[in-house]
Amino acid sequence: MENSQSDSSSTPKSLMENLLGLLRVRVKRGVNLAVRDVRSSDPYVVIKMSNQVSLSLLNFKLKTRVIKKDVNPEWNEDLTLSITNPNLPVSLTVYDHDTFSKDDKMGDAEFEILPFIEALRMNLTGLPTGTVVTRIQPSDHNCLVDESCITYSNGKVIQDMILRLRNVECGEVEIQLHWIDLPGSKGL
């Protein structure tokens, strides 16, 4: 007897057919974020991808927890996006949580994942930990503060980047990208 997936499964079959895998974005920390309250801010980060669905299939954006009264917050949180189109940029927005009014925007940034996906498609194995696969330079077309390296580390390809927030007086956010292959997905 064959195992078949029922239509009532938590992931629609059409999504799995188009899904390449999961992008885990580790939101490490914010640096010198803007002050939006009296002397500080209560920042959190929202990550989303155009026309994409998140792992929960109900959330179209993912967010970190709020860090109270800190313009240099340490989140160290993983947010996971389902990827169907690696050509679309990922957007990151920082907000200041307010209890009695609408949350204040504290800047935004976008980053491309295609160079990371291309490095993953190389199917690298057996390289020494710390081997730099490729480097992405800051330019007018990205929000990078400094060179971003895609490296081979402990058998996995990762990318570290520091993003300069736009539409705000100051602030940077450090993130790291990881890839998760999902059984039953289209794959890379």
Question: What does the pLDDT read at residue 99?
Answer: 86
Phi, psi of 166 (to 5 degrees): -100, 165
Q: Assess whether pLDDT exceeds 50 at residue 152.
A: yes
Q: What angle do CA 35, 36, 39 make, to 5 degrees?
A: 55
Under the banding of pLDDT at 50, 70 and 90, the label for residue 114 is very high
Among candidate residues 121, 173, 167, 183, the one with its CA nearest the CA of residue 146: 173
Average pLDDT (40-44) is 95
* Contact between residue 73 and residue 67 where contact means Cβ atoms under 8 Å apart: yes
Q: Stretch 51-80: mean pLDDT, rounded?
A: 79
d(CA 88, CA 111): 9
CA distance 103 to 77: 20
SS3 call for 17: helix
- Please give the model's pTM, rounded to 2 decimal places: 0.85
pLDDT in tens, 19-33: 889 999 999 999 999
